[in-house]
Amino acid sequence: MSAAAATFPNWAMLEPFVFRRDDDGSFPDAAKAPIRASGTTSWGATFTIAFSLADPPLISRLYAQLPVPGFPDPRRGRPLAILVTHRHLALLRVATETSAQVTVQDFFIYNSAADEDPSSSSLKLKALPPCTEPPFDYTRSDHRLPRCRRPPPPPEEEKHRRLLTIASMGLLCRGDEEFALCGGRAESLPAQPPLQVDADSDSSTSPGDQLGLGGAWNSMRVEILCSDDDDGWQPCGGWQTNAVIPFRRQWLCWVDYYQGILLCDVFRDPSPSVSFLRLPLDSACTANIRAKRFTCLYYRAVSVVDDGRVLKFVNVTRHDGVPFGTLKPGTGFTITCHTLLMSDGGGMAWEEDYKVTSDQLWDANLPEHLPRDILMYPQVDIERPHVVHFLFISQWKYAKKKMSVVSIDMSTMAVESLSPYINGHEGLQTDDADLIRDKSMSPMAFLPCEFPKYLSRKIE
């Protein structure tokens, strides 16, 4: 690919829905999706992925070619998912069900800096070794390290594998050749709750490794230390990881938008440490969210900017108390943004950047530029932190909703763009019908990715 044809963005807002296109006629060509890679699963099925990348606020896409019989019928689950990204790497999960009705999952690392020609399909995904660590026994009531619970023996071909919870998987790069892959689970105990961390702790490439990557999975328990100095509130039972954010090439942040953030110092020697940090929420907002916990992810987002060195939290608070749907007449919302400040001694504190009401935004923008309804799924622009992208839903009363991306300069309260994203019923006659059916029922936040800028570097 020539330098003149290299038009990759510095970062992308990736649609988490994977567009499965199994036949050659529906799978996009290199002109539409130039970033391509292929891999082979542990059960011998070959697959291909392709990225279509665009500058935000346009949405980027991931396509997958998963031919049957190596993969299940498209109507049976979603075999491939992109989980997290950090710098030049992305983590994908590929899964299937064996004839013995046992789920098998493989994890692959996509490295955007691994090939001279990013459009070449010769760029192979690298398979991670399977996790063979037994799960912990969480039934212990004391504070000692729990026994490893040995599950009933699975079929012979799967006895060395363990399923990992993909919602808590995190990826953290410290250098071009070194990264850590972790999954965590918090639990409730009478004292400070511990965190289980499963980590592929040494992932340097090994030429003799048949799977393509070195490293070994390890399970460990670490105590969670409270980072607040006000009331000592600790994470309680029912922790739900809504996002995993890499921060400063040192921490992985497990975010529960109802409870707070677990900051794991992954590379700390001799073992990781974890701190708990509350989110900056006023009492009225907290009371509302306690009653409607499952809606937190619609209106809150933690983002990193400045090459991963700065962490920001954006919160949209509805004034009508409705968890989901159009705003009640005569009501509005408030958007607040905070930045996490960290002292040399390890202290953490939130500093408010701004607080903007819907009335202020509506006064500054015409209705055709900013519709008078709720904004959802905030995402801070990585390159311009004063800009925030939101998902706006119209036609609430219809099952197949229309959606747009609204980009607002919060320093001036001016709308930069209102970009169509999903066309509702009208789009069901297009190739996006599967996306519309899925996203209308369960909208999700976009996945911010920086790996496109590493593609541009290679071909300058």
pLDDT tens figures, 105-144: 899 999 988 755 656 655 568 888 887 766 655 554 444 4
63: pLDDT strictly greater than 90: yes
Confidence of residue 152 (pLDDT cuts 50, 70, 90): very low
The per-residue pLDDT for 358 is 98
402: pLDDT strictly greater than 50: yes
Average pLDDT, whole number, for the chain?
Answer: 81
Structure tokens at 160: 């060395």
Helices (H), 28-109: none
The per-residue pLDDT for 226 is 65
Q: Which residues of 62-86 are buried (b: 16+ CB within 10 A; e: fewer)?
A: bbbbbeeeebeeeeeeebbbbbbbb
369: pLDDT strictly greater than 60: yes
Q: Give the integer Cα–Cα distance in Å for 102 and 128.
A: 20
CA atoms within 13 A on the CB side of 291: 9
pLDDT tens figures, 323-352: 888 999 999 999 999 999 998 887 899 999
Q: Give the integer Cα–Cα distance in Å for 415 and 413.
A: 7
Q: Give the integer Cα–Cα distance in Å for 190 and 299.
A: 31
The average pLDDT across 39-58 equals: 94
201: pLDDT strictly greater than 90: no
The average pLDDT across 428-439 equals: 88
The per-residue pLDDT for 316 is 96
Q: Does residue 120 come out as left (phi exceeding 0), alpha (psi in the -120 to 50 range) or beta?
A: beta
The per-residue pLDDT for 200 is 61
pLDDT tens figures, 165-182: 888 888 998 876 678 878
Which of 230-235's residues contact partners 24+ apart within 8 Å by CB, and which partners? 233/278, 234/192, 234/193, 234/276, 235/186, 235/188, 235/193, 235/259, 235/260, 235/262, 235/276
274: pLDDT strictly greater than 80: yes
The per-residue pLDDT for 199 is 60
The per-residue pLDDT for 142 is 44
Structure tokens at 358: 């819907």
The per-residue pLDDT for 115 is 59
The per-residue pLDDT for 374 is 96
Mean pLDDT lowest for which of 44-58, 256-270, 308-322? 256-270
The per-residue pLDDT for 188 is 42
Residue of higher predicted confidence among 257 and 115: 257
The per-residue pLDDT for 157 is 45
Secondary structure (3-state) at 9: coil
The average pLDDT across 19-35 equals: 94
The per-residue pLDDT for 456 is 66
Closest CA to 456 of 26, 34, 172, 17: 34
The average pLDDT across 6-24 equals: 92
6: pLDDT strictly greater than 60: no
Q: What share of the chain in percent tops pLDDT 90? A: 47
The per-residue pLDDT for 240 is 84
The per-residue pLDDT for 420 is 92
Q: Give the integer Cα–Cα distance in Å for 71 and 47.
A: 9
Q: Give the integer Cα–Cα distance in Å for 301 and 282.
A: 16
Residue of higher predicted confidence among 401 and 143: 401
Secondary structure (3-state) at 439: helix
The per-residue pLDDT for 372 is 96
Q: What share of the chain in percent tops pLDDT 70? A: 75
292: pLDDT strictly greater than 70: no
